[in-house]
């Protein structure tokens, strides 16, 4: 048994054997209901280098003495800012405390602005995390065929999938992804934070049913809500 809290956008806190914070975009997040200074975590997973995912990572990591798991190039940037890091790459796994973290593919971009200059942030990624319950946080991504393999091999109980469209999968694609991954529970994320990604999650729930995924429960979370998984 574990608990999952939606902080907003793609930011979640998973509380299983340890506390794992995903994509901590809190300051500047128009829907977040907490302050970054209030967050307590044992570790952080950052899917890619865009500001709405990196967010308050370094400050939270340093304050909590929490290691940051991310792609090698991005982790090197966090390291140079004084955060403790666990450098990873696609297909690799690390164990932090009692939690196993595996980095999986994502289809997106990951470059980072430094002032007015664009610098590499390595490849975008998703995470399969086992901290007593196995969850798949897809990061920002379009659909890709290996989602079927992720479902078959890792068998996540819960999948958090973006539905915002424009920058990631939209509702149709995410519903199809859910039907391929076949988690017990799918949670939509990365939507309605900004006008450009406004979506109705109830339409996602309908599309999951139409995709023939009657065994999958769609959980539409409210920002700040905590559920048992």
Tell me: the pLDDT tens digits for 153-195? 999 999 999 999 999 999 999 999 999 999 999 999 999 999 9
* 228 domain-assigned: no
Measuring CA to CA, which residue among 226, 220, 176, 229 is closest to residue 199?
220
Judge whether 156 lies within some domain. Answer: yes
Residue 212 has pLDDT above 90, yes or no: no
Q: How many domains does the chain have?
A: 1
Give residues with Cβ within 8 angstroms of 38, minimum separation 6.
none
Q: What is the pLDDT of residues 90-140, one digit of tens each?
A: 999 999 999 999 999 999 999 887 777 888 899 999 999 999 999 999 999
Contact between residue 229 and residue 157 where contact means Cβ atoms under 8 Å apart: yes
Domain extent, residue 83, equals: 3-221
Please indicate, yes or no, if residue 226 is contained in any of the structural domains: no
Region 22-45 average pLDDT: 98
Would residue 227 count as lying in a domain?
no
Task: Indicate whether 74 pLDDT > 80.
Answer: yes
User: Looking at the predicted structure, is the pLDDT value of residue 213 above 90?
Assistant: no
- Mean pLDDT (the chain) is 96
At 115 the pLDDT is: 77
Give the model's confidence band at 31: pLDDT under 50 very low, under 70 low, under 90 confident, else very high: very high
The three-class DSSP label of residue 68 is strand
Task: Determine the Cα angle at 208 with ends 203 and 214, to 5°.
Answer: 130
Report residue 1's pLDDT band, with 50, 70 and 90 as the boundaries: confident
pLDDT at position 188 is 98
Domain for residue 15, yes or no?
yes
Q: What's residue 12's pLDDT?
A: 99
Q: Tell me, what's the pLDDT at 119?
A: 83
- Residues 7-21 have pLDDT tens digits of 999 999 999 999 999
Choice between 84 and 210, residue whose per-residue pLDDT is larger: 84
Three-state secondary structure call for residue 53: helix
Instruction: Find the CATH number of the domain harbouring 37.
Output: 3.60.15.10
What span, in angstroms and rounded, lies between the C-alpha atoms of 149 and 168?
20
The answer, yes or no, to whether residue 48 has pLDDT greater than 90, is yes
Which pLDDT score is estimated for 22?
99
Q: What is the mean pLDDT of residues 210-222?
A: 89
Q: How far is CA 226 from CA 5, 91, 136, in A?
A: 4, 30, 17
Q: Map residue 130 onto helix, strand or coil.
A: strand
Is the separation of the CB atoms in 23 and 11 below 8 Å? yes
pLDDT at 114: 76
Cβ atoms of residues 11 and 4 within 8 Å: no
Is 26 part of a structural domain of the chain?
yes
């Amino acid at each position: 048994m574990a608990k999952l809290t939606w902080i907003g956008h793609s930011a979640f806190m998973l509380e299983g054997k340890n506390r794992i914070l995903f994509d901590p975009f809190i300051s500047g997040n128009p829907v977040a209901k907490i302050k970054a200074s209030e967050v307590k975590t044992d570790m952080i997973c950052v899917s890619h280098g865009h500001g709405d995912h990196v967010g308050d990572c370094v400050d939270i990591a340093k304050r909590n003495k929490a290691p940051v798991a991310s792609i090698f190039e991005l982790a090197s940037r966090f390291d140079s800012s004084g955060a403790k890091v666990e450098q990873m790459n696609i297909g690799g796994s690390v164990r932090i405390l009692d939690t196993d973290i595996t980095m999986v593919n994502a289809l997106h971009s990951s470059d980072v602005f430094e002032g007015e200059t664009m610098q590499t942030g390595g490849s975008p990624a998703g995470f399969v995390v086992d901290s007593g319950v196995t969850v798949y946080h897809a990061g920002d991504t379009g659909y890709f065929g290996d989602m079927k393999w992720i479902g078959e091999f890792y068998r996540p109980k819960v999948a958090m999938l973006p539905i915002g469209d424009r920058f990631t999968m939209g509702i149709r694609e995410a519903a199809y992804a859910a039907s391929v991954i076949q988690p017990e529970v799918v949670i939509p994320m990365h939507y309605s934070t900004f006008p450009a990604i406004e979506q109705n999650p109830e339409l996602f729930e309908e599309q999951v049913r139409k995709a023939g995924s009657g065994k999958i429960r769609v959980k539409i979370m409210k920002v700040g809500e905590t559920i048992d998984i």
